[in-house]
Amino acid sequence: MERTGKNTEGVELLKRPPNHSRSLWESFSHAWEGLAYTYRTERNMRIHVFVASLVVAAGIALGLERTEFLMVIVAIAAVLSAEVVNTLAEYFVDLMKPEYDEIAGIAKDVAAAGVLLTSVFSVFVGVVAFYPALFDMEARFRALLEKRWPFLLLHFFVAVTPSFAGLLICAQKSPSRSEDFRTSREEDRNCSIRRKG
C-alpha cells in the first residue's frame, strides 16, 4: 500500500463550495456515483462483488434456509460496506496528505485492516450458514434439479456473469487515483458492461 497521497491539488479541492443535494433523487444519484466509482477504481471491490455472486449462487444451489441466507447477505453487505469506507479513508488521506507521510500510511493500513476483519468475519458466517447443507447434499441436489435450477440460472445471468465481466473490463479501463472525479465519470461510460460497439 502506498504511503503517499496522489492528489497534489488537495487544498484546492477543499476550497470548493459544498455540493448540497436538492432532492432525494439527487442524493441517491450521488450515492450511486460513489458506489460506481468505487467499483471502477478498486480491484478488491470488484473481486468482492464477484465472490459474493458466487456465494449467493452456492446458497441458491444448496437451498439455504431463510435465516442462513440472511446471514450470508448481511455478511456480504458488511464486506462491501467496509470496502467503501476503506476507499473513502484512502482518498481522504490522499486529499489531506499529498506528500509522503508515515501517519498517512498508517491510516490507510488501519482502514484496510477493517476490510480484513470484516472479510474474516464473513468467512466465519459462511461456514456456519453452509455447514448444515454438507450433511444433506443428495436431497438438496435433487431439490435443485426439481425446483431451484431456474433461479440459479437467472442468478448466473443477472449477477455472476456481469460481475465477472466487470472484473475483466474494469481492470483494463480503471482510471488512476490521480484523476479527477469528473474524469472518472467519463470513464464509467467506457467501463459499462453494456458499452456500445
- Give yes or no for a contact between 64 and 167, defined as CB atoms under 8 angstroms apart: no
65 is in an annotated binding site: no
Annotated catalytic residue: which of 2, 9, 83, 138? 83
In angstroms, rounded to a whole number, what is the distance separating the alpha carbons of residues 76 and 71? 9
In angstroms, rounded to a whole number, what is the distance separating the alpha carbons of residues 90 and 113? 12
12 is in an annotated binding site: no
Say whether 146 is catalytic: no
In angstroms, rounded to a whole number, what is the distance separating the alpha carbons of residues 24 and 104? 34
179 is in an annotated binding site: no
108 is in an annotated binding site: yes
Cell triple for residue 156?
Answer: 448466473
26 is in an annotated binding site: no
**What residues form the annotated binding site for a divalent metal cation?**
42, 90
**What residues form the annotated binding site?**
42, 83, 90, 108-109
Catalytic site residues? 83
**What residues form the annotated binding site for ATP?**
42, 90, 108-109
